[in-house]
Amino acid sequence: MSNPAETPRTLVVERVFPHPPEKLWRALTESPLLAQWMMNNDFEPTIGRKFQFRTDPKPNWNGVVDCEVLTVDPIQRLSYNWGIGGSEAGLQWVVEWTLTPAEGGTHVRMEQSGFSPEQRGNYYGANYGWQKMFDALDRVIGEVD
């Protein structure tokens, strides 16, 4: 990627866990394990797999996240679409997990970007300060260790 100052940013949460990447990968991709920390789901680590995360309904949201697996790069990278509110009127995101071996464990990076893959061409091509709107993020991320 290019200079971070010029690269539009999205929501990124990172943490180093004192566990091997293989274990993280299981927690991210085995449906019963995933259910224990994310949400109930019918996930399978297969590209093109449509699945849902389900939780209790909230005001303005029925508690369902409609997803489709985009990338499965064992023990390294996993991404899926993240859609709420149906495909027409709803909001679409991409959630991407990246695992990197780190000293004493695994560096986990979660990036949630607000654009579908076909919009990414424009998105990354732009030099405009999208970043500015995400300044609030630094506050959010600052609280994460």
1 binds another protein (CB under 8 A): no
CA atoms of 72 and 80, how far apart (whole Å): 9
Identify residues 122-141 at the interface with another protein (CB under 8 A).
Answer: 122-123, 125-126, 128-130, 132-134, 136-137, 140-141
110 binds another protein (CB under 8 A): yes
Tokens of 88: 């027409």
Count Cβ atoms below 10 Å from residue 74 Cβ, excluding itself: 12
Tokens of 60: 């303005």
Identify residues 33-92 at the interface with another protein (CB under 8 A).
Answer: 33, 36-38, 60-61, 84-85, 89-91
Tokens of 16: 């180093």
List, in order, residues 6 or more apart from 32 with CB less than 8 Å away: none
What are the residues binding another protein (CB under 8 A)? 11, 13, 15, 17, 19, 23-24, 26-27, 33, 36-38, 60-61, 84-85, 89-91, 108, 110, 112, 114-115, 119, 122-123, 125-126, 128-130, 132-134, 136-137, 140-141, 143-144
